[in-house]
Amino acid sequence: MSDDELIDLAHRAFAAARAGAAEDLAALINQGVPVNLHNEVGDTLVMLAAYHGHAPAVAVLVGRGADVNRANDKGQTPLAGAVFKGQDEVVKALLDGGADPFTGTPSAVDTARMFGRLELLALFERKG
């Protein structure tokens, strides 16, 4: 595969993650796209899917072995991003995939505290 083809494949994977195209993501991973592919600022496919509120895409990535605790270059994790965006289904998918609510800067716990999400704090304590 040429460099241009690889770059196109990566762009398609990032677009699929942002759009929540779970089937497309699965197909791209089957074609060789690394499940933990990240962009120039450290956002992984699971980070983009989580931040944009796509629980089914997150579940596909988790099922393919995505690192749900990998922080981007700012120290943000997919779970903290989902808490910030109020994406409760994504929070559940990430926790089911082993996300650690105490990881990152700010952590998902810190983010839940900032926004008064007491139900998430209770959930995180049970998972922790």
Count of domains for the chain: 1
How does pLDDT run across 99-114, given as a tens digit for each residue?
A: 999 999 999 999 999 9
Q: What is the domain range of residue 71? A: 3-127
Is the confidence at residue 23, as pLDDT, over 90?
yes
Please tell me the pTM assigned to this model. Answer: 0.93
Average pLDDT of span 38-60: 97
CATH number of the domain where residue 60 is located: 1.25.40.20
Q: 3-class secondary structure for the chain?
A: CCHHHHHHHHHHHHHHHHHCCHHHHHHHHHCCCCCCCECCCCCEHHHHHHHCCCHHHHHHHHHCCCCCCCCCCCCCCHHHHHHHHCCHHHHHHHHHCCCCCCCECCEHHHHHHHCCCHHHHHHHHHHC
How does pLDDT run across 52-77, given as a tens digit for each residue?
A: 999 999 999 999 999 999 999 999 99
